[in-house]
Structures are given as C-alpha cells and as structure tokens.
Amino acid sequence: MATLKTFSDDVIPEVLEEAARSDAWSDGPEIQVPDQPLVLFDMGCTGTTVTPDDSFQVRIPSGRYLVRSLDFEIEDHAAFRLDRLVPAERS
C-alpha cells in the first residue's frame, strides 16, 4: 500500500505517475467486457443509486481483462483503491 500525507485534486497526476511505476499492483479477477460502454463509479456507491452526475462511461474493446488493484493510504484516516484493466493473456 502506498502512503500519502494529504490528498487533493492537484496531487492526482503525481499519484497516477507513482502508480504507473509501482510493483505493488495485485491481481484480481478476470472479467469479460462486452461490446458496450462500461459505467465507472465510486465503489462507495451502490449500483442502484448511481446517477450520470457521479459516474461516467468508457468504451474499450470487448474481451477478457484482468483487474489489477493498487491501494493507497492517506495518513492513517483514509484510503482509496485504484483499479486498472489489462488484457488477459491467452492460454
């Protein structure tokens, strides 16, 4: 888990750069992505309460993807998870 002293919108680029270099990503499940937009939203929301104002859609090629996660801690009182999808290797 990476640790941040504080968090604000202006540190997001720094966090993403650190994440890209990190070897602390953990592998999660493989998912099948359909040929339709994915809806992304804060994991603190439930799927039934998400509105267009607190979500956005992305379109990626359909196929199997591995979910990889990296956890960040902000001091000792908050944390967040950054997830990314990487194409699953064919076996």
Taking only the tens of pLDDT, the chain with its 91 residues reads 555 555 566 777 777 788 888 888 999 999 999 999 998 887 777 778 888 888 889 999 999 999 999 987 766 667 778 889 999 986 5
Q: How far apart are CA 79 and CA 76, in angstroms?
A: 8
Domain segments of the chain: what residues?
Answer: 2-87
**∠80-83-87 over CA atoms, to 5°?**
170
With H, G, I as helix, E, B as strand and everything else as coil, classify residue 25.
coil
pLDDT value of residue 58: 92
Q: pTM surpassing 0.85? A: no
What is the predicted pLDDT for the residue at 28?
Answer: 95
Give residue-wise pLDDT tens across range 60-74.
999 999 999 998 776
